[in-house]
Amino acid sequence: MVARPVLVIGNRTYSSWSLRGWLVMAQAGLSFDEEIIWLDMPDHKSAMRAATGGVGTVPTLRIGDICIADSLAIAEYAAEKAPDAGLWPKDAMDRALARSLTARMHSGFTNLRRDCPMNLSNRFLDFKPDDGVLADLAVLQAAWTECLNRSAGPYLFGAFGAVDAFFAPVAIRVYGFNLSLSRQCMDYVNALLDHPLVQQWITAARLEQDVQRPRTDRLTAGGFTPGDWPILRDR
């Protein structure tokens, strides 16, 4: 008998990579349990290693003695286990492009990821992006525009898929740091934020903030103005 999968994730407020892995598993309709590692606790690194068979990163999908690390590998596992879930486009060229964009998100946009970390407890309305962040946004906008023009939206290839799961934390960053994109790209950001599974993650993040230890975010400490993070469907 195959063991029930356990998805090891970081707490929802801060863990962007965990959101990606969780979204592809949930969108595929696969059953799994969750094990949460609190990333703001002093012993979180040792807790991650213990929960992931020594891998030490989140998300990690644990199935019995097997640990599948990395969001991209989890996405491929989910797509193979649920081939009718549509995680990748049916058209071969679209599928190749979706995988290309997913890989680019996986390894790139380091300025945006460094300067605008995912944070579902605050909005930073006075944040001023530097040239590096603006360059990353320009590349993102060009890639999104190409896909949205081809598919007519609301997601990059029409229906929500793995590539959109990988860009969902970017949508949270755009909203949270008050970043500017074209109207077409902002419509895509809003479609991601309004997706029921993303809403479910955000709602759970708000609940966990009631129990976690207070955290002094480095951006708040740096003088940026925090704002309330609303339940996004009501914005």
Render each residue's pLDDT in the chain as its tens digit; 235 residues: 778 999 999 989 889 999 999 999 999 999 999 999 988 777 888 988 988 999 989 999 999 999 999 999 999 999 999 999 999 999 999 999 999 999 999 889 999 999 999 988 888 888 999 999 999 999 999 999 999 999 999 999 999 999 999 999 999 999 999 999 999 999 999 999 999 999 999 999 888 866 554 455 555 554 455 455 554 444 3
CB 97 within 8 A of CB 35: no
CB 32 within 8 A of CB 81: no
Angle of helix 71-81 versus helix 92-107 axis, rounded to 10: 150
Domains along the chain with CATH numbers? 6-84 (3.40.30.10), 86-198 (1.20.1050.10)
Q: The pTM is what? A: 0.91
In whole angstroms, how far apart are CA 138 and each of 10, 17, 98, 129?
A: 29, 22, 18, 12
pLDDT, position 231: 43
Q: Is the peptide bond before 154 cis (omega within 30 degrees of 0)?
A: yes
Alpha helices per DSSP H over the chain: 16-27, 44-51, 71-81, 92-107, 110-115, 131-151, 162-176, 183-194, 196-208, 218-221
Question: Tokens 């068979």 map to which residue?
Answer: 53
